[in-house]
């Protein structure tokens, strides 16, 4: 149940267990509203903030897949699967159809807080749905393996190599991509394990990455989240309802992929030791925004429009020529826009003792050749931030439109 604003509502089951209107209000602002604080439960409701968080639901079915328009949850599991070698062509297509039917039915049940129809392992027992979303995408290789090359969406071609890329191919690409978000780590991992077990014999896990963001209710005031460099990250994302939003993020036309979107997924390691040795004022010039509150260096508050022409008292550009927000801005890239929905990751230390930590960059757009690719080309050449990051894995996936009640993701392609 998502309201017309795309925000989570409480499920009917959850409502039956809640103590009334006050409980509902708490639930409605919680869940996937990752950057919003939860109000304390009203006296006498008998509920708790944590319980409301657990009960919040985002429906799987709808015109758009869940997990695109909703704010990022506190936890994510990203994974890619490869179809098993075997039948090939129509044989593989039959297996894929069966799998997507099963995965969709499972995702819909888990999103309602119900048990998986098969491969249930009790990992999330006692937890509510916690705003679980499961989003499915198709890699270019899927179309060749299933004899559907002629139906591959036009822009689903391998991403080009960019200067300074250090891509690990074993943790890139894949036939099927899955993004599982939830406001609880066990709920997200549970969904991944169930999908993986259900895929046995049809598809095997190629790579998997766990990520996180801010837990709803952790900040006293609703605010944009921070990344592991300590920056307020996500301010200038396109927003539903803005002029041209739909056209920039979702595909048009009338084929099977109409209303879909492309997901660019990049694991980007942050060179945190170098970054943290940089004084705050220099860090701010690398991004072009203040670290404390995310306000642009041209002045104002976090939400003030950036003035790329503004100059300081010394005559120098207030937002430096190589500042990340100048180089990445749609105005510097022919209007190129994407909906960024990233997560942090932290996976211990590397052999040289540096942290294996950074950003699981996920961006949705109607055409990667007009969104991610031109922007990344420019960033790779002239972004001050590039000295502090390394792109280590890469994927591009066609994310089909959502499935109606009783349908499954990809049905228009496979039936
Ligand atoms: C190719 C696209 C982008 C990559 C890759 C990327 C990596 C990356 N970004 C940050 C931190 C911030 N990015 C911010 C803004 C921003 N970034 C991109 C694109 C990519 N970023 C765009 C299009 C924008 C918006 C620009 C604008 O219109 O102003 C910001 C500022 C706050 C915000 O608007 O979100 C931060 C901070 C990191 C750390 C990173 C790789 C690790
Ligand atoms: Fe960025």
Local confidence band at 42 (pLDDT 50, 70, 90 cut-offs): very low
Is residue 156 within 8 Å of 370, Cβ to Cβ?
no
Give 47 Cα–ligand 1 centroid separation in angstroms. Answer: 38
**Given the structure tokens 């598809």, which residue do they identify?**
203
Residue closest by Cα to atom 28 of ligand 1: 329
**376 CA closest ligand 1 atom index:** 1
| Cα 1 from Cα 111, distance rounded (Å) | 10
Three-state secondary structure call for residue 297: coil
Query: Per-residue pLDDT tens for 374-403?
Result: 999 999 999 999 999 999 999 999 999 999
What H or E segment, with its residue span, contains residue 164?
none
Q: Is 6 left (phi over 0), alpha (psi -120 to 50) or beta?
A: left
Give 222 Cα–ligand 1 centroid separation in angstroms. Answer: 21
**Given the structure tokens 């010394």, which residue do they identify?**
314
Q: Across the strands, what pairs with 80?
A: 177, 207
Torsion sign over Cα 182, 185, 187, 189: positive
Q: Is the pLDDT of residue 411 over 80?
A: yes
**Helices marked H in 32-88:** 49-55
Three-state secondary structure call for residue 266: strand
**Given the structure tokens 């949705």, which residue do they identify?**
364
Q: Is the pLDDT of residue 192 over 50?
A: yes
Give 246 Cα–ligand 2 centroid separation in angstroms. Answer: 21
| Cα 16 from Cα 293, distance rounded (Å) | 40
Local confidence band at 210 (pLDDT 50, 70, 90 cut-offs): very high
Local confidence band at 170 (pLDDT 50, 70, 90 cut-offs): very high
Q: Is the pLDDT of residue 239 over 80?
A: yes
At 46, list the tokens. Answer: 């008998």
ipTM above 0.90, yes or no: yes
Give 328 Cα–ligand 1 centroid separation in angstroms. Answer: 7
| Cα 325 from Cα 307, distance rounded (Å) | 11
- Report residues whose beta carbon is within 6 angstroms of any ligand 1 atom: 227, 229, 231, 233-236, 268, 270, 287, 289, 306, 324-325, 328-330, 358-359, 361, 372, 375-376, 379, 389
Angle, helix 185-198 to helix 89-111, in steps of 10 degrees: 150
Straight-line distance from the first to the last Cα atom of the chain, in angstroms, rounded to the nearest whole number:
27
Q: How many CB atoms lie within 10 A of CB 13?
A: 15
Decide the pairing of beta strands 355-365 and 75-83: unpaired
33 vs 121, higher pLDDT = 121
* Residues above pLDDT 90, as percent of the chain: 85
- Give the pLDDT score at 105: 98
- Give the pLDDT score at 87: 65
CA 187 from chain centre, in angstroms, equals 17
- Mean pLDDT over 295-309 rounds to 98
**Helices marked H in 234-340:** 245-249, 272-276, 280-287, 324-328
**Given the structure tokens 């080309």, which residue do they identify?**
377
| Residue of 82, 183, 184, 233 marked active site | 233
Q: Is the pLDDT of residue 23 over 80?
A: no
| Cα 6 from Cα 408, distance rounded (Å) | 20
47 vs 256, higher pLDDT = 256
- Mean pLDDT over 278-305 rounds to 98
**Helices marked H in 18-155:** 21-29, 49-55, 89-111, 140-145
Q: What is the pTM of this model?
A: 0.91
CB within 8 Å of 74: residues ≥ 6 apart? 34, 182, 183, 184, 212, 213, 214, 215, 216
| Cα 166 from Cα 390, distance rounded (Å) | 7
- Dihedral of CA atoms 129, 5, 340, 123 in degrees, nearest 10, equals 0
Three-state secondary structure call for residue 109: helix
Is residue 47 within 8 Å of 18, Cβ to Cβ?
yes
What H or E segment, with its residue span, contains residue 123?
none
Q: How many CB atoms lie within 10 A of CB 24?
A: 18
- Mean pLDDT over 256-279 rounds to 98
């Amino acid at each position: 149940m998502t309201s017309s604003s795309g925000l989570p509502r409480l499920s009917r089951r959850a409502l039956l267990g809640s103590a009334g209107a006050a409980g509902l209000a708490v639930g409605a602002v919680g869940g996937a509203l990752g950057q919003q604080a939860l109000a304390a439960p009203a006296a006498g409701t008998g509920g708790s903030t944590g319980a409301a968080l657990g009960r919040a639901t985002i429906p799987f079915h709808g015109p758009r897949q869940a997990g695109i328009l909703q704010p990022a949850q506190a936890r994510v599991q990203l994974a890619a699967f490869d179809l098993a070698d075997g039948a090939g062509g129509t044989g593989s297509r039959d297996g894929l159809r069966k799998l997507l039917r099963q995965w969709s039915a499972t995702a819909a049940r888990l999103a309602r807080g119900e048990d998986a129809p098969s491969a249930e392992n009790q990992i999330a027992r006692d937890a509510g749905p916690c705003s679980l979303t499961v989003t499915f995408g198709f890699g270019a290789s899927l179309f060749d393996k299933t004899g559907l090359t002629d139906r591959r969406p036009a822009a689903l071609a391998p991403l080009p190599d960019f200067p300074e890329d250090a891509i690990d191919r074993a943790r890139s690409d894949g036939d099927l991509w899955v993004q599982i978000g939830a406001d609880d780590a066990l709920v997200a991992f549970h969904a991944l394990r169930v999908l993986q077990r259900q895929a046995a014999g049809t598809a095997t896990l190629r790579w998997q990455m766990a990520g996180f963001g801010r837990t709803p209710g952790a900040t006293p005031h609703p605010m944009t989240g921070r990344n592991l460099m300590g920056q307020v990250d996500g301010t200038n994302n396109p927003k539903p309802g803005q002029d041209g939003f739909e056209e920039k993020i979702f595909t048009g036309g009338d084929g099977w992929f109409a209303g879909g979107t492309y997901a660019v997924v990049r694991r980007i390691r942050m060179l945190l030791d170098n970054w943290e040795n940089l004084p705050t004022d220099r860090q701010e010039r690398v991004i072009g925004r203040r670290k404390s509150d995310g306000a642009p260096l041209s002045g104002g508050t976090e939400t003030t429009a950036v003035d790329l022409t503004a100059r300081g008292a010394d005559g120098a550009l207030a937002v430096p020529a190589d500042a990340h927000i100048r180089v990445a801005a749609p105005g510097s890239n022919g209007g190129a826009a994407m909906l960024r929905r990233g997560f942090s990751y932290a996976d211990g230390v590397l052999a040289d003792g540096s942290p294996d930590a950074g950003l699981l960059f996920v961006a949705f757009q109607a055409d990667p050749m007009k969104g991610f690719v031109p922007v990344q080309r420019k960033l790779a050449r002239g972004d001050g931030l590039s000295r502090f990051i390394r792109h280590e894995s890469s994927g591009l996936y066609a994310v089909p439109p959502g499935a109606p009640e009783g349908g499954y993701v990809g049905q228009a392609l496979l039936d």
